[in-house]
Amino acid sequence: MSDTTSPSDLSPLQTLALLLRVLKLPTMRKLAEEIAKTAEREGWTFQQYLRHLAGLEVAERRRRRIERHQRESGLLGEKTLATLDRKRLSATVAKKLPALCEGDFVERGENVLVFGLPGRGKTHVACAIGHELVRRGRRVLFTATYALVQRLLSAKRDLRLEKEMAELDGFDAVILDDIGYVQQSRDEMEVLFTFLAERYERRSVVITSNVVFSEWERIFKDPMTTAAAIDRLVHHAVILEMTGPSMRAERADEATRAPRSATTTTTEATTTTAANKRRQTEAQDGEV
């Protein structure tokens, strides 16, 4: 549209499109004419037309926001609720999971602590909860604990720790994966404790760990700091204990067995073929 075009030269629909562009309502501008035709055909009132058009704008904005939150979350794409084998979950975890996916714990600033030996599905459960929170409009960050610690330590060295904390505070839930693998120096321990203390009773953390609380002193180095960290995390928390056999070990066993079975079948087929040929030769010799 030319800058020299006068509003009086425009049709009502063109004027509407121009106004919607100025108001930064791209979905309404894009669909205004199409919905207007539908409204005319269906005999909608002006209020019905405007409500429907505004609803489409809101829905599109929500879709784009969820996509943006999904990209920034760092969540593992394949570890969703749909791909989670719920039959392997204990009855207690299976019962608590739907409510956690609804996300009310985020409203209350509560934490979720997922414990279990390696390969029990801790990360999958945490990611599944994270994906469901994003679908419901929440901002979520998934990160390995060591990566977050290094991020905070770097910010502290650059004298921008407060700014980094403020940025992390924008996430409704931060998922710290594998806290038990972190072997920190005292400086690293301090920034992790500071992060947990900052979120206490305000923002949620979801933590996976293969280390029970009684062994957390090797993470936080100091008995007092360890007790303070555990106290803050447990005060408002849902604890999930992942039990059962290792899923990774089972998958590895299946992968190992499959080739061996194929080899055995091939060998048996070869042996059978050789035996048949031998019998045929012996029969022919007997006829001669």
Of the residues 242, 268, 283, the one at which a domain ends: 242
- Distance between start and end Cα atoms, the chain: 100
- Structure tokens given for 192: 């992790």
**pTM of the prediction?**
0.78
Q: Determine the Cα–Cα distance for residues 34 and 25; give it in Å rounded to an integer.
A: 15
**Closest to 187 in 3D by CA, of 221, 234, 238:** 221
Which H or E run includes 124? helix 122-135
Q: Do 43 and 94 reside in the same domain of the chain? A: no
61 shares a domain with 125:
no
User: Given 41, 72, 103, which residue is the final one in a domain?
Assistant: 72
Residues 144 and 237 in one domain: yes
Q: Is 139 helix (H, G, I), strand (E, B) or coil?
A: coil
Looking at the fold, whether 148 and 109 belong to one and the same domain comes out as yes
CA distance 9 to 18: 12
Number of structural domains found in the chain: 2
Would you report the helix, strand and coil content of the chain in percent, each value rounded to 5?
65, 10, 25
Q: For residues 57 and 191, state if they share a domain.
A: no
Is residue 198 located within the same domain as residue 221?
Answer: yes
Q: Are residues 168 and 107 in the same domain?
A: yes
Identify the pLDDT of residue 184. Answer: 65
**pLDDT at residue 229, as a whole number:** 93
pLDDT of residue 73: 97
- 65 with 96, same domain? no
> Can you give the residue range of the structural domain that contains 96?
86-242
Tell me, yes or no, whether 251 lies in a domain.
no
Rounded distance, CA 153 to CA 189, Å?
A: 9
Environment class of 201 (CB within 10 Å of its CB; exposed 0-12, middle 13-18, buried 19+):
exposed
Residues 66 and 126 in one domain: no
**Does 112 lie in the same domain as 225?**
yes
Q: 17 lies in a domain? A: yes
Closest of 192, 207, 214, 216 to residue 237, by C-alpha? 207
266 found inside a domain: no
- Say which residues have a Cβ less than 8 Å from residue 138's Cβ, sequence separation at least 6: 69, 103, 106, 172, 173
Residues 94 and 233 in one domain: yes
Distance of alpha carbon 81 from alpha carbon 125, whole angstroms: 8
Separation CA 233–CA 50 (nearest Å): 48
Spatial contact of 208 and 124, defined as CB atoms under 8 Å apart: no
List the pLDDT tens digit at each of the 288 positions of the chain.
555 555 567 777 788 888 888 889 999 999 998 999 999 999 999 999 999 999 999 999 999 999 999 999 999 999 999 999 999 999 999 999 999 999 999 999 999 999 999 999 999 999 999 999 999 999 999 999 999 999 999 999 999 999 999 999 999 999 999 998 766 688 888 899 999 999 999 999 999 999 999 888 888 888 998 999 999 999 999 999 999 877 766 666 666 665 555 445 455 555 555 555 555 554 444 443
Side-chain-side CA neighbours of residue 237 (13 Å): 21
Strands (E), the chain: 111-116, 140-144, 173-177, 204-209, 237-242
Task: Say if residue 137 is in the same domain as residue 57.
Answer: no
